[in-house]
Chain A
Amino acid sequence: MRMKHICMAGLVMFAATTIALAGPSGGTVSGKVTYEGTPAKMKPIDMSKEPSCAKMYPTPPVAETVVTGAGNSLGDVVVYVSAGAPDEPAPSSAATFTQKGCRYIPHILALEVNQELKIINEDQTSHNIHPLPKLNREWNKSQPPGTPAISEKYDKAEFIPVKCNVHPWMHGTFAVLKNSHFAVTGDGGAFTLPNLLPGKYTITAWQESYGEQSQEVTITGSETKTISFVFKAKPY
């Protein structure tokens, strides 16, 4: 009789651990970010003061403040879970930020609190990396060509503008976020946030010129909820 109880208890424990170790599951929030109205025309960048970069472009590149695509889509929009998900420890992999052609790649880098940030200079000219946080510490380092990658991290969530003082047209952003549920829209404006456990979430979309918008989404199981963000374009 007791043997039976022990077996049952063992089976229940085995089942419980199997379910617990099943891996990430849950629902997904996906959608598209678009704009309405007429966005400002992005101006071509004059890199004549830095010939080593200017020569890399057959035609001058345009500023990346507003990145538009087919179907009025917006690229480079950070879509993230701003409430409803617990804070997460940083992943062990680094987030990489590259200076190439006197521009930042990616223009918007989303990473997590305390995640290693690796900054690389692939140009033939010196750059200085000067992030301008308000909550985190402000530092400013020179990175000549051929010098090793700079390794840093931020311990507070914040959207941090980044610039190079030597090349005033260079602008980027570090989006330091508290959990791993984020995406940066690409060409076409689409985003997917998977692995959301059942609960009520606030999904926020941030565009560097148009600001932020939020929506509430409830996940009950493993369904996919589709939402969309529409930003009002500014003419300047």
Chain B
Amino acid sequence: MRNFKFAMICLNLAVALALPTAATAQDMGSHVGNLKGNSSNGAALYYRYCWGCHGARGNGDGENAPYVQPTPRNFVAATFKCRSTPTGMLPTDQDLYNSLGRGFITTNMPSWITLTDQNRADLVAFIKTFSPRWKSEKPGDPIPVPAEPALTLASIQHGKELYQKLECWKCHGQEGRGDGPSASTLTDSNDQPIKPYNFYTGYRFKCGTTNSDLYKIFMTGLDGTPMPSFADVVKPEEAWDLVHYLRTLQIWHKSPELTMWEATPQGSEIVKSEKVRNTYTGNPIHP
């Protein structure tokens, strides 16, 4: 009888050790503002809310993954779209926390604002245990985002020149509708077809809603997608000019940039013809 009890204890211990759990020795938790996230609490939340898409091992092969496009994030690879850090670097805890709260518009990743702030901090701590990169490298330093300069017409027009010079139109199209010459052949890093952002249809981005968010998108790139980082080739003041111009492409979203642009003869002509040309050109995935 005693032998049986001993054997059962050993068996239970073996089973408990075999299940995926949060890494213990290298667990650094997470720090988001005043919040400290705990990965054991995060694990409980993950296996309740997240693993259906992101998988038991965190590599994006959950039960729902075959039906989800774009595919769920692979936390083992640790390549993330929305960062404040340079391309190729790990995001900060704040970046991951913001992504959880925002969700990813036009994808299956919802906003988890329904969970408490502490919940989301705990989840960030747990997500970081999936990849060994969090132990061997530190997150990059967030890129400096200088204060936004005053909005002027010259800024918008310079941004328009940059849009041509940097050849953004090759993917995003001349009117920013995501219908440029290269748009139909774009694939992400998993070889899945992917569309460039369409400025015509919305005002929210995958990585935020503000001008600062937009600044960071093209100055850090969206890792794992065709969208590169322009940090090495665009000066910070010029980057703000591009932000101001890009807002004028979102013709259904009333922004100070659009208002100023529409007050000019050139701008009002462009926006009027865009509104009349009210067809969603989109771009076919298979040309």
A interface residues, Cβ below 8 angstroms from B: 49, 125-126, 128-130, 132, 134, 137-144, 147-148, 150, 165-168
The 8 closest A-B pairs by CB, nearest first: A139-B88, A165-B226, A128-B228, A168-B185, A142-B228, A126-B167, A140-B228, A139-B87
- C-alpha gap A180/B79 in the complex (Å): 30
B242 CB → nearest A CB, Å: 12
Interface string of B129-141 (1 = CB under 8 A from A): 0000100000000
**Beyond A128-B226, A132-B189, A168-B185, is A141–B221 a contact (Cβ under 8 Å)?**
yes
A53 CB → nearest B CB, Å: 13
A82 CB → nearest B CB, Å: 23
B182 touches which of A139, A144, A165 (Cβ 8 Å)? A165
Closest chain B residue to A151, Cβ basis:
B232
Please report whether the interface of chain B is mostly helix, strand, loop or mixed according to DSSP: loop
B232 x A141 contact (CB < 8 A): yes
B interface residues, Cβ below 8 angstroms from A: 77, 79, 86-89, 133, 165-167, 170-171, 181-182, 185-187, 189, 221, 223-230, 232-233
Q: Chain A contacts of B181 at CB under 8 A? A: 49
A135 CB → nearest B CB, Å: 10
- C-alpha gap A177/B230 in the complex (Å): 29
- C-alpha gap A49/B184 in the complex (Å): 12
A134 x B227 contact (CB < 8 A): no
A71 CB → nearest B CB, Å: 35
**Beyond A150-B232, A165-B226, A166-B170, is A138–B185 a contact (Cβ under 8 Å)?**
no
**Beyond A147-B233, A165-B186, is A138–B79 a contact (Cβ under 8 Å)?**
yes
Closest chain B residue to A144, Cβ basis:
B233
- C-alpha gap A148/B233 in the complex (Å): 9
Closest chain B residue to A128, Cβ basis:
B228
Q: Chain B contacts of A139 at CB under 8 A? A: 86-88, 221, 223, 229
B229 x A140 contact (CB < 8 A): yes
Q: Chain B contacts of A137 at CB under 8 A? A: 79, 88-89, 133
A142 x B224 contact (CB < 8 A): no
Q: Chain B contacts of A130 at CB under 8 A? A: 189, 226, 228
A166 x B229 contact (CB < 8 A): no
**Beyond A49-B182, A147-B233, A168-B185, is A142–B88 a contact (Cβ under 8 Å)?**
no
A140 x B171 contact (CB < 8 A): no
A141 x B87 contact (CB < 8 A): yes
A140 x B167 contact (CB < 8 A): no
A166 x B87 contact (CB < 8 A): no
- C-alpha gap A16/B221 in the complex (Å): 56
B69 CB → nearest A CB, Å: 18
Closest chain A residue to B87, Cβ basis:
A139
- C-alpha gap A136/B52 in the complex (Å): 27
